Amino acid sequence: MHEVKVKGILSSKNGMNLYRGCSHGCIYCDSRSKCYQMHHDFEDIEVKINAVELLEDALKRKRKKCMIGTGAMTDPYIPIEIQLQHTRSSLELIDKYGFGVAIQTKSNRILRDLGILKSINEKAKSVVQITLTTFDEKLCSLIEPNVSTTKERVEVLNIMRDNNIPTIVWLCPILPFINDTEENINGILDYCEEAKVKGIICFSMGLTLREGNREYFYNALDKKFPGLKQQYIKSFGNVYDIKSKNNDKLMDLFQERCKRSGIIYNINEIFTYLYTFENKDKSKQISLFDL
């Protein structure tokens, strides 16, 4: 861990990352890509020590309420959050100033902040986003070694359901030759239906690989799935957007089940929902895109 001071914390679309780097160890992580210009070891977490102060200043200055997003690049509930509590402090500010939040994680540590998320959701909107890649617990431990298990994440979805907090599932990535099966997709969708998730984000049945994360992914394949790297190289070469040979069949399965269950799967519709602020006190909505 190392500390830095930054000049700003919110992006143009009101997203933020309180940390840079991650200790989850997911073998496919796109955030390792060199294009993000992270000039330190990925596991050496960069802590933005003035992030909470900057966030409060930014929220005070905003003329209109909006959704604040976090978790796109670095999970807000990596282990050091237990001690530092930057995510918790940020949620408290979002609650205090009457904003909404869309928070993405793979960790059941988010349950620590359930009370704050409920408070935000009573006045505006809290949306909890959880990534699910496999319903197989053993496989989960191989491809996502240091995060909450699939069952633990599903428990988070169920608890949010019981507390009337809407949830979105990121069904990605789906790794060719590893978890690109009907059994896996059906297993994940069974969990989603039980949890009554509002929407599922799935761009395709595949993953993206580019300089930085490709090397890490292939190294992990050598260790955990011997011989599979050669199959990837033969099948995909250096393609960025890798799709499973089962993509069409699995996407049809995914979309048909979502239709039957009333789960939103249109990407644009889901992102519009995530970006739209709801003022429950005044029955009025403000979109991020209007700011």
The predicted-structure confidence for 33-68, as pLDDT tens digits, reads as follows 988 888 888 889 999 999 999 999 999 999 999 999
Tokens (6 digits) for 28? 């496919």
Q: What is the DSSP letter of 109?
A: G
Q: Work out the mean pLDDT of the chain and round it to a whole number.
A: 94
Q: Which pLDDT score is estimated for 1?
A: 87
* Stretch 234-242: mean pLDDT: 94
Residue 229's φ and ψ, nearest 5 degrees, are -60, -45
Cβ–Cβ under 8 Å, residues 142 and 133: no
Cβ–Cβ under 8 Å, residues 99 and 59: yes
* Stretch 199-205: mean pLDDT: 97
Q: Which pLDDT score is estimated for 82?
A: 95
Q: Which pLDDT score is estimated for 289?
A: 44
Q: Which pLDDT score is estimated for 282?
A: 57
What percent of the chain has a predicted confidence (pLDDT) above 90? 90
What structural domains and CATH numbers belong to the chain? 2-290 (3.20.20.70)
Answer whether residue 287 shows pLDDT above 60: no
Cβ–Cβ under 8 Å, residues 71 and 38: no
- Determine the Cα–Cα distance for residues 275 and 287; give it in Å rounded to an integer: 6
Strands (E), the chain: 2-4, 15-16, 19-20, 46-48, 67-70, 100-105, 126-131, 167-170, 199-201, 206-208, 241-243, 276-279, 284-287
Residue 234's φ and ψ, nearest 5 degrees, are -65, -40
Tokens (6 digits) for 90? 């940020």
Strands (E), 55-138: 67-70, 100-105, 126-131
The predicted-structure confidence for 213-223, as pLDDT tens digits, reads as follows 999 999 999 99
The predicted-structure confidence for 73-121, as pLDDT tens digits, reads as follows 899 999 999 999 999 999 999 999 999 999 999 999 999 999 999 999 9
The predicted-structure confidence for 119-177, as pLDDT tens digits, reads as follows 999 999 999 999 999 999 999 999 999 999 999 999 999 999 999 999 999 999 999 99
The structure tokens 């599903």 sit at: 154
> What's the pLDDT band for 269 if we cut at 50, 70, 90?
very high
Q: Which pLDDT score is estimated for 290?
A: 46
Return the bridge partners of 278, or none: 285
Answer whether residue 283 shows pLDDT above 60: no
